[in-house]
Structure 1
């Protein structure tokens, strides 16, 4: 489906995602990649325009992707992209039906997110606490902030100095879908952040808005944050791969263990759907089951 008119609708849809739905460039890139795959498949099947596709075509396309090894979660995302695209085409008057509307991907087994227990988290965050290295002090401030506020990697990397409200100890965060939220910052994170803000002028001037900067004074990249955390984890002797999202998972699971307030955790994490947050109830149950197995006299009775 390489004719100019068909491809033009993909471009118009991308502009719709950017201007009306306000999706991030990364999300739009994923949508476009999925729709380009559908366009390539349609072209190889002799279809010339989006109006020619029906539910049988979409089922055949999804089945082919499944045979190629695409898992349930990826297929769900693929179908979501197609449904959204056709909703746009219907709104624009090009199509009358959504061929992907009633098609469901096979379910994937639920996988619990990897996380850290409170002792591992404390050991990790305390590791660089007494350092005199300003960049390591920056790293500790980043990781304390992720754990204190449950931030995504992209959210902490995008923080600006103006997002920190020192008077109220609150943090202004813009998350997925440009949804804004205001988060309380814990005492330890506040102290680490204050220490970094005193050091920050060594690396960047007032013209640089980014809160966390590199040695060269530029906004710290996602890859740099990931590699610095892995280095810190290795220095503590943690025998596992550690990534920033594990600190977000730790924030949620530790908070749920203490409070049991799933709705509050949903708001703090910035989840649009509480179903996304409910994964942490499984983590909490897993913790309770471990405590039971270790402590109850008859827990391991055969």
Structure 2
């Protein structure tokens, strides 16, 4: 069940949530995220939805002030959302929003302790991110562009696969953040953290070709965005998603191509070649190494395939002989 469906299901008595005195604290926290932390509008929208769910759950439990919230109330909220179909990842994000809100309320003196710190989401099945095989990116990236739009799409795909950018980072990228001569790109990621990442030679070449075509668009003259739409405005997240889907279909990919698949492929292929988990962490912009470690599982899957295909005992085991 989608988060919004759960929200509608819970709001059978909407007047409780709407009258909640906790809303002032939520509004203040969201304002802080936008103004001080420079959170993206997608992060803000997700946190707003999650905190609306929190407010509704608490209101239905008869709690309408921050001071009335304890760990038991948070656990009950998580349990209620879980019963209504929210998965593990959605509940983890919900708890992340709750912890952020309560940390904010502790820092401004509204609360003494964060009631969500000891609460964990139910563990779901571990799903590994989808990646391309090592030979598949060439099918996507070596095609000759036929238009300025396909030049842009090619540069976008090269940048995702060359440097592992997040979708939001790519869409926010401005011209001064590209250093094509130095083969570097500087991005601002989650938590307003800035990192500088190497650019591959083919990505730099694709970007040069796109920027030359971009310069012919009169509407782009006063826009700092690297990637623009046909109207000359900064390209949107949804537009990038749709264009990549179209490019994947046009190149005959069996799976749906999306930005995170290219980011995951960058990480998996780089780790497979280098074995340097710390370097991959830095380039992906992960605050914690544990987030990056999922790619070691992907690498293990590859090693297991190699073993099964090449090791003599694995071969004998498949053949049924065992001596």
Deviation at 1:277, TM superposition (A): 0.6
Aligned residue-pair number: 300
- Report if the CA contact (8 A) 2:20-2:65 is conserved: no
Out of 82, 88, 94, which is 1:66 matched to?
Answer: 82
Q: Over residues 101-157 of structure 1, what are the superposed CA-to-partner deviations in whole Å (9 max), with x where a residue is unaligned?
A: 222221122211000011111111113xx2332211111111111111111111111
Partner of 1:13: 29
Q: Secondary structure at the match of 1:264?
A: helix
Deviation at 1:10, TM superposition (A): 1.3
Deviation at 1:5, TM superposition (A): 4.0
Instruction: Name which of structure 1's ranges 268-277 and 93-102 shifts more when overlaid on structure 2.
Output: 93-102
The two structures have a TM-score, normalised by structure 2, of 0.87
- Report if the CA contact (8 A) 1:137-1:192 is conserved: yes
Q: Secondary structure at the match of 2:197?
A: strand
Q: Over residues 232-275 of structure 1, what are the superposed CA-to-partner deviations in whole Å (9 max), with x where a residue is unaligned?
A: 21122111111111111111111111110000111111111111
Residue 277 (str. 1) matches residue 292 (str. 2): yes
**1: distance between equivalents of 2:243 and 2:76?**
44
The two structures have a TM-score, normalised by structure 1, of 0.93
- Report if the CA contact (8 A) 1:35-1:82 is conserved: yes
**1: distance between equivalents of 2:190 and 2:37?**
11
Deviation at 1:4, TM superposition (A): 6.8
Partner of 2:14: none
- Report if the CA contact (8 A) 2:280-2:292 is conserved: yes
**1: distance between equivalents of 2:51 and 2:109?**
19
Out of 189, 212, 221, which is 1:198 matched to?
Answer: 212
Residue 95 (str. 1) matches residue 95 (str. 2): no
**1: distance between equivalents of 2:313 and 2:119?**
47
Residue 139 (str. 1) matches residue 153 (str. 2): yes
Residue 289 (str. 1) matches residue 300 (str. 2): no
**2: distance between equivalents of 1:5 and 1:262?**
46
- Report if the CA contact (8 A) 1:163-1:173 is conserved: yes
**2: distance between equivalents of 1:285 and 1:239?**
23
Residue 227 (str. 1) matches residue 247 (str. 2): no
Structure 2 gaps of 5+ residues are 1-16
**1: distance between equivalents of 2:183 and 2:256?**
32
Instruction: Name which of structure 1's ranges 206-215 and 277-286 shifts more when overlaid on structure 2.
Output: 206-215
Q: Secondary structure at the match of 2:256?
A: coil
Structure 1 gaps of 5+ residues are none
Deviation at 1:276, TM superposition (A): 0.7
- Report if the CA contact (8 A) 2:177-2:185 is conserved: yes
* Pair 1:48–1:244, CA change in 2 (3 A): closer
Q: Over residues 168-202 of structure 1, what are the superposed CA-to-partner deviations in whole Å (9 max), with x where a residue is unaligned?
A: 12111111122111111111111111111111122
**2: distance between equivalents of 1:133 and 1:79?**
45
**2: distance between equivalents of 1:20 and 1:143?**
31
* Pair 1:4–1:239, CA change in 2 (3 A): closer
Residue 174 (str. 1) matches residue 188 (str. 2): yes
Residue 151 (str. 1) matches residue 129 (str. 2): no
Partner of 2:92: 76
**1: distance between equivalents of 2:300 and 2:198?**
26
- Report if the CA contact (8 A) 1:24-1:177 is conserved: no
* Pair 1:297–1:62, CA change in 2 (3 A): same
**1: distance between equivalents of 2:189 and 2:107?**
27
Instruction: Name which of structure 1's ranges 97-106 and 229-238 shifts more when overlaid on structure 2.
Output: 97-106
